[in-house]
Amino acid sequence: MNKKILCFSAAAVLLMASCKEEKTTDETASSGEVAATYEAKGMSDEYDAKIDEIVSKMTLEEKVGMLHGYSMFTNQGVEHLGIPEVHMADGPLGVREEIERMSWKPAGRTDDFATFYPAGGGLSATWNPEMAATFGKSIGEESRARGKDILLAPAFNIVRTPVGGRTFEYLTEDPFLNKSLIVPYVVSLQEQDVAACIKHFAANNQETNRGTVDVQMDERTLREIYLPAFEAAITKAKAYSVMGAYNKFRGDFLCENSYMLQDVLRDEWGFKGIVISDWAAVHSTKKALEAGTDLEMGTNKPTFDDFYFAKPLLEAVKAGTVTEAEIDKHVKRTLKLLFAVKAMGDTAGRAKGSISTDAHFKDAYNIASESVVLLKNSENLLPLKTDGLKSIAVIGANATKTHAQGGFGAGVKTKHEITPLDALKAKLPSSVAINYAAGYKTEFKPRSEGKFGDVVQEVNVPINTLDPKMIAEAVAAAKKSDVAVLFVGANRDYETEASDRMDLSLPFGQQGLIDAVKAANPKTIVVFIAGAPYDLNKTEKENSTIVWSWYNGSEGGNALADVLLGKVNPSGKLPWTMPVKLEDSPAHATKSFPGGATEEYKEGILVGYRWFDTKNVTPLYPFGYGLSYTTFEFANAKADKKEYATDDTITVTVDVKNTGKTDGKEVVQLYASKTGGSKVTRANKELKGFTKALVKAGSTESVTIKVPVKELAYYDVATKKWTVESGTYTFKLGSSSRDIKGEVSVNIK
């Protein structure tokens, strides 16, 4: 029995601190227990009296200066009272480069390089909360080294449609996986004395019309699908700040939405931090401030004084339409955040951080190496056997493409990004000849030519014609090589903030290239590097070997090469469903996406695999899917008791046997189904726990998954309460949502 497994999944939460010391990346991580380990204390009230005193000395102008942007990424400080500017930076992929104070132009500095971390899809494909903690700590240290108080991350809106422009940046279609990763991320980030700004709150699930669309969904769907990770980030991880989204929800812009910002966020969840608007998401003064927005950023006005929370706010106070007490409330919250991150108060004790260090590149490598998903290996071409290998064709623009920058939105300026070709050159024996061909060009038509039912304003339309000369070079390289590896997929110009994709087709004519290379060399390995689902039907049908990687950070190429060469056994699992066709996905099957002025989430709670499983629609690759170079069998699935009360925690164990010849990690996934009917519509199955376990070749590990009975609750709209229905639940244990290998039934009193 692996002691480390016991440490994570069976020990009491109180013992967790000592377990944490021993962690290495080889260990086992379980969703529920690891998340419990990371429950944070939150902002202290220790400085409240001091804050009152400071505010009593401030002029109205000084107070108002703190509530709006005074450069692209700061507000205004009050020097004589020792209040610094709040320094913010994007974002999800690493600490963004510095830009000019008053424009989006790069500042041209030489000290703003950072580590590029795997984008959200890569992190979530690890299915490893420990990796999320590593991510949070590492990027937190970088934020501090760059002098930041708030990191505008993590971004984790639910992946509702596969074509969403920010799917690469967000984590998953599943609320449980989402919160299991977000809690350790936020806690570990904030332990570095930098605030998380969790975003985008909320229901910001599409880029099409994101600045105006009015999202409508029923309350149960909101609570069960779109809010759980936000709720956990506030109630468990105690995130210090929240970003108000661009869109409207039930008629009100999110930054003017008192239901979301006051009733839910503060009254129900006890949020004590600040709400920062997304950049230019504020549309009013009194309404936005009184609804709960604390800091207005990015508004597109001639000067910062023209922001809604600048001169117009001063005038509103003078005219008596906004009270000074209201202003004080927001100023005090901001000061509380500054004390919480030690930008005020115990400044000497503040974490100093470090940036672009070998340790951080190793963190990025560890995350990336657990994220690569093996989709197909039916001829065992992988791992590549280098013994006797004389030549390899490396084909495709993604063999040499870097992904730290691109498209609209935040990127990272990094000195260090290893491409797949760099890594293969360094790792293959020198006796192996590498025959490289780019294969296709990544070019776009001008934006104005993009059309999507006249609603998408900014579409990147790829040029899909292949260059015959490039194809001929690729075919020649494939023909003269023992094996061909194609690096295809997408890039960050094609998958980008501010526009959704028009369809799932592979851009730049790549399908033609895949077909031609496969015809030239039957030993072709197709590697996709992308952040969102694509149409892989033809590739799946005609190719034996398919690998999926992500915009995977500074060390993405090294991690991928190590998987291809067998140094790392792949253990990534898809964090969303790959549909056969777009119309199979719930937001499209119900014809609700992309909506118009209003977007009604007609599929309700049946998002992602919940829809596919409940409606019996077969996906191309299911949620949670991913193969390994070894095989696993599950046996003896059991629960510790037959019957449970609502406050109990159910302990499920299952023996996982590694039946192959390679050590490997398996993600044991637990899906719950209510048997024997329910008062409400239920999804066929819902993820309620998972554990990623390292199992040595030939050995068996007992894997534990803990399910607090409360996790089985549904949101009762009538009583406004989470309610656990009594009766029988079946727990399905699988290596994906569709590969169920064991079942356990439990009774809830």
Q: How far apart, in whole angstroms, are the C-alpha atoms of residue 545 and residue 543? A: 6
Q: Which of these is catalytic: 278, 500, 535, 584?
A: 278
**CB closer to ligand BGC out of 230 and 279:** 279
- Cβ distance 86 to 121 under 8 Å? no
Angle, CA of 461, 463 and 465, to the nearest 5°: 150
Q: Which residues contact 550 (CB under 8 A, 6 or more apart)?
A: 118, 119, 121, 122, 125, 168, 368, 371, 372, 529, 530, 531, 556
Least CB distance from residue 166 to ligand BGC, whole Å?
A: 8
- Cβ distance 206 to 161 under 8 Å? yes
Least CB distance from residue 100 to ligand BGC, whole Å?
A: 14
CB atoms within 10 A of CB 698: 12
Instruction: Identify the DSSP state of 240.
Output: S
- Cβ distance 541 to 367 under 8 Å? no
3-state secondary structure of 181: helix
Strand ordering across the sheet containing 598-600: 252-253, 248-249, 214-216, 598-600
Least CB distance from residue 496 to ligand BGC, whole Å?
A: 11
**CB closer to ligand BGC out of 91 and 622:** 91
Least CB distance from residue 388 to ligand BGC, whole Å?
A: 50
- Cβ distance 517 to 439 under 8 Å? yes
**CB closer to ligand BGC out of 154 and 734:** 154
Interaction site with ligand BGC (CB under 6 A): 90-91, 152, 155, 199, 278-279, 409-410
Least CB distance from residue 280 to ligand BGC, whole Å?
A: 8
CB atoms within 10 A of CB 741: 18
**CB closer to ligand BGC out of 207 and 711:** 207
**CB closer to ligand BGC out of 247 and 402:** 247
Q: Which amino acid is at 588?
A: H
Q: How far apart, in whole angstroms, are the C-alpha atoms of residue 338 and residue 347? A: 10
Q: Which amino acid is at 34?
A: V
Q: Are strands 727-736 and 664-674 parallel, antiparallel or unpaired?
A: antiparallel
- Cβ distance 741 to 634 under 8 Å? yes
Is 52 marked active-site? no
3-state secondary structure of 56: helix
**CB closer to ligand BGC out of 410 and 707:** 410
Angle, CA of 219, 221 and 225, to the nearest 5°: 130
**CB closer to ligand BGC out of 67 and 197:** 197
Least CB distance from residue 228 to ligand BGC, whole Å?
A: 20
**CB closer to ligand BGC out of 27 and 278:** 278
Least CB distance from residue 330 to ligand BGC, whole Å?
A: 20
The first and second tokens of residue 391, run together, are 């030549």
State the helix-helix crossing angle for 324-340 and 311-318, rounded to 10 degrees.
140
Q: How far apart, in whole angstroms, are the C-alpha atoms of residue 676 and residue 619? A: 26
**CB closer to ligand BGC out of 211 and 708:** 211
- Cβ distance 241 to 194 under 8 Å? no
Structure-token match 């809830």, residue found: 748
Closest among 394, 392, 413 to 402, alpha carbons compared: 413
Q: Which residues contact 576 (CB under 8 A, 6 or more apart)?
A: 159, 162, 167, 172, 173, 174, 533, 608, 623
**CB closer to ligand BGC out of 155 and 233:** 155
Q: How far apart, in whole angstroms, are the C-alpha atoms of residue 188 and residue 302? A: 38
Instruction: Identify the DSSP state of 28.
Output: -
Q: Which amino acid is at 17?
A: A
Residue 597, judged by CB atoms within 10 A of its CB (0-12, 13-18, 19+), counts as exposed
Least CB distance from residue 72 to ligand BGC, whole Å?
A: 8
- Cβ distance 546 to 565 under 8 Å? no
Least CB distance from residue 169 to ligand BGC, whole Å?
A: 8
| CA distances to 85, 311, 608 from 306, in Å | 19, 6, 43
Least CB distance from residue 132 to ligand BGC, whole Å?
A: 19
What are the catalytic residues?
278
